[in-house]
Amino acid sequence: MGIVGAGPAGLLLGHLLHLNGIDSVIVENRSREYVIDRVRAGVLEQGTVDLLNAMGVGAGLQRAGLRHEGLYVSFRGSRHRIDLAELTGGKAITVYGQNEVVRDLIDARTATQRPLYFEADRVSIGGLDSSSPIIGFRHGGAGHEVHCDFVAGCDGFHGICRPSIPDGALTVYERVYPFGWLGILAEAPPSSDELVYTCHERGFALFSMRSPRVTRLYLQTLPDEPIENWSDDAIWDEMLERMTTRDGWRPTVGRIIQKSVTPMRSFVAAPMRHGCLFLAGDSAHIVPPTGAKGLNLAASDVLVLARAMKVYYEHGRRDRLDQYSDTCLRRVWKAQRFSWWMTSTLHRSPDQNGFDHQRQIADLDYLTSSRAAMTSLAEQYVGLPSEVSFDSAGL
Ligand SMILES: Cc1cc2nc3c(=O)[nH]c(=O)nc-3n(C[C@H](O)[C@H](O)[C@H](O)COP(=O)(O)OP(=O)(O)OC[C@H]3O[C@@H](n4cnc5c(N)ncnc54)[C@H](O)[C@@H]3O)c2cc1C
């Protein structure tokens, strides 16, 4: 299989195929350092943690991952805890940076000695309607071609695989939000052991962490807000204004070591397959980060794809390949709905009036006082059950 992209989707897929004895070549246009250093997701669902452990790549996660059995929702100056583990029969989320996940997977790939090309130039794909597609690219000054049975488009939202599908073959569903997230990493010990989602009159804020010494915080801003507009002092003033609760809880202030603004969108391209090209992860769908689902959806897509490949190579059966898109999209749409709901319940829209804000507060009041509502959030936040057993994917 030819795999375009060495993000979480491409690297996980490559290792799953390896464990099933299926050859793959991974082609990535960025450098190894760039791919590892990119600061992105940090919340792993229970199923993603179980998958990494079952694949034998969970050592770093077990050593440094922070298991969270609850989270806080904060509004009107008070924090309300939702006990994820108690409401879901013991499931939890684990905070472990996406860059750590990617580093562990690159190490695992390197140990298998299977091909992984970084800094590939002019990557292209062709022959998608044939039985022998080709990935073309330049590397080290020479042209290369990978002739494969299938191509996995794991090259993210801005990659080349989805745009290689002929016009009219895909239906795109999209919502662009009128806000973005200003995210910072700060050298400050987390002042809470669990995430705090805050709905404030001045906009959404999220308290999170990466390690016992590093805090990760987000503020709702305009989607195109220049980061230069925000001095470090202004960021801390706004964080404290939105997050400080009546009981005196607030984030610990520290040196800001990274800051950026990310716009937010919901996006699905369907079907997730065209001929012998299979889209997985962000190349097929994007969620606003409020529900922490992006990386987790990439993991669930490639588990479905790995099972389909195993069934094809072991038994010559194409039925799982044919079902790939429908199987993935069922989970994708539930994650889209959850991410949209979390986003619209916690953020302040520019066209929002007093009625809308009171409705949000009522929603949050209900959420934090009804066991049924808390259970609904908890089971979606820790991750809905997978449609694919690890056993059926060769684990
Ligand atoms: C700024 C940012 C912040 C985020 N924060 C969160 C968060 O807090 N929580 C959460 O759950 N999710 C978050 N996400 C989403 C999450 O990071 C993604 O869902 C996840 O990375 C998806 O993995 P992927 O492998 O599908 O795509 P990617 O991680 O995008 O990987 C795609 C890979 O393909 C490579 N590539 C692109 N084009 C080519 C090409 N032409 N040829 C070869 N290779 C190519 C890219 O360099 C990249 O390495 C965030 C995303 C962004 C962009």
How many CA atoms does the CB half-sphere of 78 hold within 13 Å? 7
| Active site (annotated) includes residue 312 | no
Instruction: Provide φ and ψ at 386, rounded to 5°.
Output: -75, 145
Q: What is the Å distance from ligand 1's center to 13 Cα?
A: 14
Give Cα 221 distance to the centre of its chain: 21
Q: Which residues, 6 or more positions from 69, have their beta carbon under 8 angstroms from its beta carbon?
A: 83, 84, 85, 86, 92, 194
Closest Cα partner for 157 from 263, 39, 51, 261?
263
- Predicted local distance difference test score (pLDDT) of residue 40: 82
Q: What is the Å distance from ligand 1's center to 92 Cα?
A: 24
pLDDT along the chain (395 residues), means of 10: 98 98 98 92 95 98 96 97 98 95 98 98 96 96 97 98 96 96 96 97 95 94 94 98 97 96 96 98 97 97 98 97 98 98 95 93 98 98 95 94
Q: Which amino acid is it at 307?
A: R
- Tell me the best of 121, 204, 295 to mutate to test the pocket of ligand 1, counting ligand atoms within 8 Å of each CB and taking the most: 295
Going by alpha carbons, the residue nearest to atom 50 of ligand 1 is: 40
CA gap 123, 26 in Å, rounded = 11
| Active site (annotated) includes residue 334 | no
CA-to-CA dists, residue 164 to 123, 129, 143, 151, angstroms: 11, 11, 20, 12
- Predicted local distance difference test score (pLDDT) of residue 88: 98
Question: Strands 78-82 and 71-75, how do they pair?
Answer: antiparallel
- Predicted local distance difference test score (pLDDT) of residue 305: 98
| Active site (annotated) includes residue 293 | yes
Going by alpha carbons, the residue nearest to atom 20 of ligand 1 is: 295
| Active site (annotated) includes residue 197 | yes
Ligand 1 residue neighbourhood (C-beta within 6 Å) = 4-10, 27-30, 35, 40-43, 98, 120, 123, 154-156, 159-160, 262, 281-282, 289, 292-295, 298
Residue from 72, 96, 197, 218 carrying the catalytic annotation = 197
- Predicted local distance difference test score (pLDDT) of residue 260: 94
- Predicted local distance difference test score (pLDDT) of residue 39: 79
| Active site (annotated) includes residue 226 | no
- Predicted local distance difference test score (pLDDT) of residue 41: 82
Helix H or strand E segment including 243: helix 232-243
Q: Which two tokens stand for residue 33?
A: 């350092």
